[in-house]
Amino acid sequence: MVNQLERTGAAQTGVVIPELDLARIERIRQDFPILARQVGDKALVYLDNAATSQKPEAVLQAMDDYYRRYNANVHRGVHRLSEEATAAYEQARLKVARFIHAPSDKQIIFTRGTTEGINLVANTWGRANLGPGNEVLITEMEHHSNIVPWQILRDQLGFTLRYIPLTESGELDLSQLDTLITPATKLVSFVHVSNVVGTVNPVQEIVAAARAVGAKVLVDGAQSVPHMPVDVQALDVDFFVFSSHKMCGPTGLGVLYGKRDLLEAMPPWQGGGDMIREVKMSGSKWNTLPYKFEAGTPAVAEAIGLGAAVDYLSGLDMEWIHDQEQALVRYAYERLSQIEGLHIVGPEQRAGLVAFTLNDVHPHDLSAILDQDGIAVRAGHHCAQPIHDRLGIVATARASFYFYNTPDEVDLLCAGLEKAAQIFAL
């Protein structure tokens, strides 16, 4: 049998990756049907996990089972199917709460995704607490979903929107934190892990500075929850948002965690069924948490799918997932650094993604060339245009990894990039 490291090409580069459990990764890959597909005549190499992850059979089966056996609306029915659907839906909420170490499942609000979670906070807590003379602090590395809602609200309410700048290496310049966070600061909202440079931000340090002036903290965990253990109580954040589809779950579903006293005080955002306790023509009374923020028929199948994804990830162990990704991204960083004309953006210490440019080749052209070899990467500004402006580049190509990726795939990526460089040099 061929040695795993020899098969990956690591022996050719002299790189040893003892942390990678290649035998286990190979077994895990069998859980993901899509990883066996061909793109043209090439095997799929899926390196676009920061955009969305693939789904294991367990998630697909859980959602299929709901639709086949007990498809019904939740909460209001007293028949058997509705009771079974309600139990599965609420069990998924409990699984999510335990996964991020929330004190109670009542603090888990199902949303349509990270974007809606941020918009919910902006349009409930924000409208009730922000106005002229107040400040909201974000950063230069935010995804558009943590910039645009605050810009819209600023224009409507008249508060000031400020940002923490970046260093040349793609990290937050926290040397200015004491002057940026002032008694006027009411909220600090920032990304846990950058989806462009891969920087892992020091949440607790920023939270401590916010607490010193009584400011609240919202953290975008879209790129952290799928890849590392997260404990919202240890982080002491007021709000935390993330998406199902980036952590092996279905699309169209996300999570907002909030501290209970804040959620209790916040008004509902959308009106309709399930978010009410009583409706009269003269007025309405709101439901209790978490239902106050979940108007209308919820994404039942998607929640059940997320619950299955949480079970799957927990079974692998989040510490193990993080360790595997760190080993793989270190290998990728070293291999990519050897390609002439390739520039990696961001610090060497990073989460499991690498964004880069290659000579003067537009990232869209790079992506198209790689796709011919079955290699899927992202190209563009990744819904984070300000960070690209700060770094003086229009766009980047991005390879983002998950626990089912292998050194083989990194080697294929590098070979594809070297081929692209030759093509565009002609």
Inter-CA distances, 196 with 50, 163, 223, 310, 346, Å: 9, 17, 10, 25, 8
What is the Cα Rg of the chain in Å?
A: 23
- Compute how many other C-beta atoms are within 10 angstroms of the C-beta atom of residue 284: 14
d(CA 153, CA 279): 29
Ramachandran angles phi, psi of 211, nearest 5°: -60, -35
Ramachandran angles phi, psi of 416, nearest 5°: -65, -40
Catalytic residue numbers read: 383
Residue with tokens 């891969």: 198
SS in 3 state form for 313-372? HHHHCHHHHHHHHHHHHHHHHHHHHCCCCEEEECCCCCCCEEEEEECCECHHHHHHHHHH
